[in-house]
Structure 1
């Protein structure tokens, strides 16, 4: 279905109205991925508009991922490509330890940073794939994020699934849809790999920590999202917020669809 479309500049009450017309559920929970460059306007104003649309009992959640402190992350491997061993060691030694209270999440965008820094915001404990949230359900959603479980059953994604949360792709595509990763954990015997990152140690220093988790792969999420929109057009609402096209849909519906889709489309058949 399509929401009312209004190609109007983002700002104040107009943004709240657009979010309401799109279908953001009052007193609900919404996980937001946003490109403010596409939407236009100010990230703090957008966060305020989302909170007004959700109402006082609603909870706003954003990804606050930190690949900057890992030498197994895609961003690190791209950063050191072509560098000498000495230069790679210098980059690695400069990586800051993750501190949920202060570590920025620059690759997640301006809206995620606005929410993370907002007074009263909470953040989950995973040193690579934390989430930040504002609202009365934040504690329930973020507590218990195991440090060896990026985005699975012991992460906020599973709590969002249980809470019947919505997902809002605000000026972004399905290649950014973190919820699909929960479906990867729900495949039988998903492939696994080692990860490393810097975590805080006693005395304020950092230490390298290695752990095993499933192999996260978002390379086919854009195709998965296109198929999801076609198959579940009854559940996916499209419309404009600010200058950008956006998608709103139930997280649970997306994860359930992705679980079956991955089984049918991934080469290992798992």
Structure 2
């Protein structure tokens, strides 16, 4: 079948500007390449279009999650036999911001982490990447303990009036909204990861908050008429520009209401 919808880098730049993306803006980007159309240059062209619109005076952030650096006892997609668990813990490589690939979050964030001047945070499972002004400061101090919550790069992004940019991607991929889950009553789960400690590679155990992005879909759909949400097209993809700071209280309110209903 012949591909009939071509979206060039120049078109992406024009569409991003039409949506409201401006030089110097701070954006946390989620994208779905298949929704945008056929792009000459693919993920590289999309990233370069974002950089040209935002400019180095702004900030681009993306998720860089490496969820396979975790305790195999918690794996389900796919699960592995219990008699493999200890061998995996001993043999899996430690998290390395420069080497460790992302998992199941798409071509764009995986390529973005390799781009020149992109910085990556130190969380072994829930890292984020950043390019632009003060990128290193935004990803600094991302410890196992703060995850997506207070003290994390997400909190810095929210406090800096960042914008969540969805380019054809579903609402349940909104990484920034996990911050709201730290403001409600959510249990902790024991996990583990492989990390470098000096010259050693060590599997450590820790507690992290259980997160669940499933409610984000209906929450996002219910937010479309809010004044802090702008909707338009980037290529063929329905896209949204959303104030992180304004949306977090709405997400938290909805999650609290859901918790109350479930209990």
Q: TM-score, normalising length from structure 2?
A: 0.89
- Map of 1:96 onto structure 2: 93
Aligned length: 257
By how many angstroms is 1:239 displaced? 1.6
Residue 137 of structure 2 aligns to a residue whose secondary structure is helix
Whether 1:9 aligns to 2:6 is yes
* Change beyond 3 A, Cα 1:211–1:90: closer
Whether 1:216 aligns to 2:183 is no
Whether 1:192 aligns to 2:188 is yes
Whether 1:113 aligns to 2:133 is no
* Matching residue within 252, 260, 266 for 2:245: 252
Whether 1:79 aligns to 2:78 is yes
- 8 A contact 2:89–2:203 mirrored in 1: no
* Change beyond 3 A, Cα 1:167–1:56: same
CA distance in 1 between counterparts of 2:97 and 2:261 reads 36
Whether 1:19 aligns to 2:16 is yes
Residue 186 of structure 2 aligns to a residue whose secondary structure is coil
Q: TM-score, normalising length from structure 1?
A: 0.87
By how many angstroms is 1:260 displaced? 1.4
CA distance in 2 between counterparts of 1:60 and 1:257 reads 24
Whether 1:228 aligns to 2:223 is yes
Q: Deviations over 1:44-73 (max 9, x none)?
A: 111110011112311111000000111268
By how many angstroms is 1:220 displaced? 1.3
- 8 A contact 2:65–2:128 mirrored in 1: yes
- 8 A contact 2:167–2:239 mirrored in 1: yes
- 8 A contact 2:31–2:166 mirrored in 1: yes
Q: Deviations over 1:76-111 (max 9, x none)?
A: 32212xx54335555555532111121111422111
Gaps of 5+ in 2: none
- 8 A contact 1:179–1:254 mirrored in 2: no
- Map of 1:57 onto structure 2: 57
- Map of 1:4 onto structure 2: none
- 8 A contact 1:72–1:197 mirrored in 2: no
Residue 113 of structure 1 aligns to a residue whose secondary structure is helix
Residue 77 of structure 1 aligns to a residue whose secondary structure is coil
Gaps of 5+ in 1: 1-6
- 8 A contact 2:73–2:82 mirrored in 1: no
Greater RCO structure (CA 8 Å; 6+ sep) = 1
* Change beyond 3 A, Cα 1:16–1:113: same
Residue 10 of structure 1 aligns to a residue whose secondary structure is coil
CA distance in 2 between counterparts of 1:25 and 1:260 reads 30
Coordinate RMSD, CA, aligned: 2.2
- 8 A contact 1:65–1:129 mirrored in 2: yes
CA distance in 2 between counterparts of 1:147 and 1:85 reads 25
By how many angstroms is 1:267 displaced? 3.9
- 8 A contact 1:263–1:269 mirrored in 2: no
CA distance in 1 between counterparts of 2:84 and 2:207 reads 27
